[in-house]
Amino acid sequence: YKQAAAQGLADAQLVLGIAYTQGKGLTRNLEEAARLYRLAADQGLADAQNTFGQCCMLGLGVSHDFADAARYFCLAADQGDAFAQCWLGFMCEHGKGTKRDLGEAVRLYRTAAAQRDVGALARLGVCLEKGR
């Protein structure tokens, strides 16, 4: 995977990033993992965009940056990634990295829930219970 990742193959960059995150077959290195996720994300790979968004949100291998997290979640969400839709909905619900927009949060949760994302179903239930 290292050779393929070095040649710019986004799927290989994602897989190698996961290996660095988990420390499987090589030394765990969150900074290198985040670098690889970003390379793949910037090539348009939705799974990598979602994963790099999580890195930004949680500060894993990069500085905490909610605005970058929201931007990468949005890129993946626009490609139909339910997990990213749920995370972006959460960020809209709480005003993290983007303006607080409860209507948009509910829309994103509904979109992800339609794909059977359990987290989105739970967040949607909370929003509806609170009358959002």
Q: Could you tell me which residues come within 8 angstroms of residue 67 by beta carbon, excluding any fewer than 6 positions away?
A: 97, 98
List, for residues 107-124, the tens digit of each pLDDT value.
Answer: 999 999 999 999 998 989
List, for residues 65-109, the tens digit of each pLDDT value.
Answer: 999 999 999 999 999 999 999 999 999 999 999 999 999 999 999
Lookup: tokens for 18: 């996961």
pTM of full prediction above 0.85: yes
44-68 average pLDDT score: 97
Note whether 127 and 93 are within 8 A (CB): yes
Query: In sequence order, which ranges of the chain are alpha helices (DSSP H)?
Result: 2-6, 10-22, 30-41, 46-58, 66-78, 82-94, 102-113, 118-129
